[in-house]
Homo-oligomer: A and B are copies of this chain.
């Protein structure tokens, strides 16, 4: 059997344990269980997630491998102490103000540039496929005139994941939630974000990154990611100004009524 282009879009069904890992990780990063605190028992998690204990155990093992939790036989599974001192504090301090958002975006830039370089070196086949998958998904959504935000996020997340350093993913999760501008509901972004030209440009930049990573060229990958993100920064700034102008106008309009 030959390999077609479609095969590259590996739509590999995620393992149950991966779903559980994602869910628990999200909760932990959100600080729903304080560090040092005990997680629900495997039995309880079995009920809440509706899967067998095997799956729960595999998920917890993965989280333990990432250093997020520690299991103590006879006692329970506990959230690692350091995790939230690293990321919780950070998340707590970040207000949603714009000046902050720009600064956060800048930190994210640092993280992602290095991610791209490491991904080029360390990625495995599945991880590379995941990046490609996100790329094609973006393409598909673009052709279907649907919001591409999720695919964009997935693309960057897949790259972070390909570093094989879980902290990069976590950083991106924490930072990205605030910094990624994909607010399709707001009036100032619909025009900009959803314009085909805008998204085509994004996709062109994505392609350069993807090629560099596939080629295993760390230097090129970093450079491609740098130009992509600095341009995104620029676009974000422009959008902020557009929004301010919009508000100014609506205020003026309201006052004249």
- Interface positions of A (Cβ within 8 A of B): 17, 54, 57-58, 61-62, 64-67, 70, 80-82, 84-87, 89-90, 93, 96-97, 99-100, 103-104, 106-107, 109-111, 113-115, 118, 121-127, 164-168, 170-171, 174-175, 178
Contacts and interface: CB of A to CB of B under 8 A. Distances in A.
User: Does more than half of chain A's interface fall in helix, strand or loop, or is it mixed?
Assistant: helix
Contact of A124 (B82, B110, B123, B165): B82
A167 B84 contact: no
A67 B122 contact: yes
Contact of A167 (B54, B104, B122): B104
Given A85-B174, A103-B167, 5 more contacts: A65-B96, A66-B164, A82-B123, A90-B174, A106-B114
A4 to B, nearest CB: 18
Given A100-B67, A109-B114, A165-B107, A124 B171 contact: no
A125 B70 contact: yes
Contact of A168 (B70, B107, B170): B107
Contact of A96 (B64, B100, B171): B64
> How many copies, total?
2
Nearest to A58: B61
Q: Most chain-B Cβ atoms within 10 A of its Cβ — which of A54, A57, A124, A126?
A: A124
Contact of A103 (B62, B123, B127, B166): B166
9 contacts: A62-B65, A70-B125, A70-B126, A84-B121, A85-B178, A90-B174, A93-B170, A106-B114, A113-B114
Contacts of A165: 103, 106-107
A6 to B, nearest CB: 18
Contact of A67 (B67, B82, B124): B124
Given A62-B65, A113-B114, A86 B175 contact: yes
A10 to B, nearest CB: 11
A65 B65 contact: yes
A199 B47 CA distance: 54
A82 B174 CA distance: 10
A3 to B, nearest CB: 15
